[in-house]
Structure 1
Amino acid sequence: MPLSQPVSRSLQHTREVICQGYLRDDGLWDIEGHLTDTKTFRMRCIERNDGYIPVGEPLHGMALRITVDLDLNILDAEASMDFTPFDLCPSIADAYRQLIGLKIESGFTKKTRSLFGGVQGCTHLVELLGPLATTAYQATHQARQDRDKGNWDAGAEPPPLLNSCHTFDSSGPVVQKYWPHFVSSKE
């Protein structure tokens, strides 16, 4: 169902977040996220151009790339900040190499916020880490499912989505239909 019809309005700001997952020839996965903010008006910005950002030129243009294995261990990380409101902003990009060695799993967001929160990082790159992690999960999902399916069918271990949302409730109809040996009753 689409959103309801809005009242009359005029666009002022657009934030685009694009995340893509790539299977590399070496069997690893590159996950790239790009965040772009643009305005529909000439914006005052004292450290850019003649003190203004022209219509259509990004206020923010930033990217993160992580390389993961099939278990979502981060093996490499790189950040770039091509458009920023201040000249100092890009100096924090190398801090995101601290992602190397982390694993995308429960607690990942908390860990990254402790590493890059406040003055230790960039608000926009921290925001990009959430969609980047989700994209890593989605991009590798089929390959992980193909690898691990036998374990789920045999009942050795539950599917990782179990109890992650209302659809995958361990006592719900989806789990009853596809993984009946992992159904739990609510008391």
Structure 2
Amino acid sequence: MSTDAVTREELHRRDVEMRFYRRSDGLFEVEGRLVDTKTHPFRRLLAEEDAPPGHHLHDITVRLVLDAELQVHAADARMSATPFKICPGAAAAMQRLVGLSIGTGWNKRVRELLGGVASCTHIVELLGPMATTVLQGIAPLRIVSTDDPEEDAQRRFRVDSCYAFAADREVVVRLLPRLQRDKAGTPI
């Protein structure tokens, strides 16, 4: 049924914002923020009174500092609003990410290091889209060097990384013809 045919009442809103920066020290920084709000009064678990409409249930900002090879140099989280007073303690686990590199296996490794009781579910949720934000943010810098023989690993990383970059599709055929393959995986 089309939503045009019915009325709707917004009950919950989640805003997720991602930003990527080049720093003056030669490093890069990605910041992700998650904010949850309700449009009506609600009582948090263990709370003694209702929170008013628009009050933040979660307001969590996660920051990673990376080099051009996407290795994490610093990681932290600020938890300005949380449902429980104990939640900000989860931010300390962010230090486990220092030394890791964003790339294949990133999300799996994040879940291994920060999943479950090790940290905060919402921090873990932010780190996936933060990684893709880094890749989008740094892409223009890497595209410039696509023809550089030293960048072969970067070219191979792109092939079969998404629908458009399938080894048998036009994008690879036109941009990376040496790496194109047919559907069976045979070089063309």
TM-score, structure 1 normalization: 0.89
What corresponds to 2:84 in structure 1?
A: 86
In structure 2, what is the Cα distance between the partners aligned to 1:73 and 1:152? 18
Which stretches of structure 1, 4 residues or more, deviate above 4 A after TM superposition?
3-6
The structure, 1 or 2, with the larger RCO (C-alpha pairs under 8 Å, 6+ apart) is 1
In structure 2, what is the Cα distance between the partners aligned to 1:175 and 1:26? 34
Q: Is the 8 A contact 2:57 2:83 kept in 1?
A: yes
| AA matched with 1:82 | S
- The counterpart of 2:165, out of the listed 158, 168, 174, is 168
In structure 2, what is the Cα distance between the partners aligned to 1:71 and 1:163? 20
Question: What displacement does 1:171 show?
Answer: 1.1
What corresponds to 1:35 in structure 2?
A: 34
Q: How do 1:141-152 and structure 2 match up within 5 A? A: 141-151=139-149
Instruction: Give the number of aligned pairs.
Output: 183
In structure 2, what is the Cα distance between the partners aligned to 1:98 and 1:44? 34
Which consecutive residues of structure 1, in runs of 5 or more, have no partner in the other structure?
A: none
Q: Output the aligned Cα RMSD.
A: 2.1
| 1:76–1:6 CA distance, 2 compared to 1 (3 A) | farther
In structure 1, what is the Cα distance between the partners aligned to 2:76 and 2:135? 18
Which consecutive residues of structure 2, in runs of 5 or more, have no partner in the other structure?
A: none
Percent of aligned positions that are identical: 37
Q: How do 1:1-150 and structure 2 match up within 5 A? A: 5=4, 7-47=6-46, 51-150=49-148
Q: For residues 102-150 of structure 1, give each alpha carbon's deviation from its aligned partner in whole angstroms, at most 9, with x where no partner exists.
A: 1001011111101111111111111011111111111111112224442
In structure 2, what is the Cα distance between the partners aligned to 1:107 and 1:144? 20
> SS at 1:139's partner residue?
helix
Q: Is the 8 A contact 2:146 2:155 kept in 1?
A: no
Q: Is the 8 A contact 1:46 1:52 kept in 2?
A: no
User: 2:183 matched to 1:186?
Assistant: yes
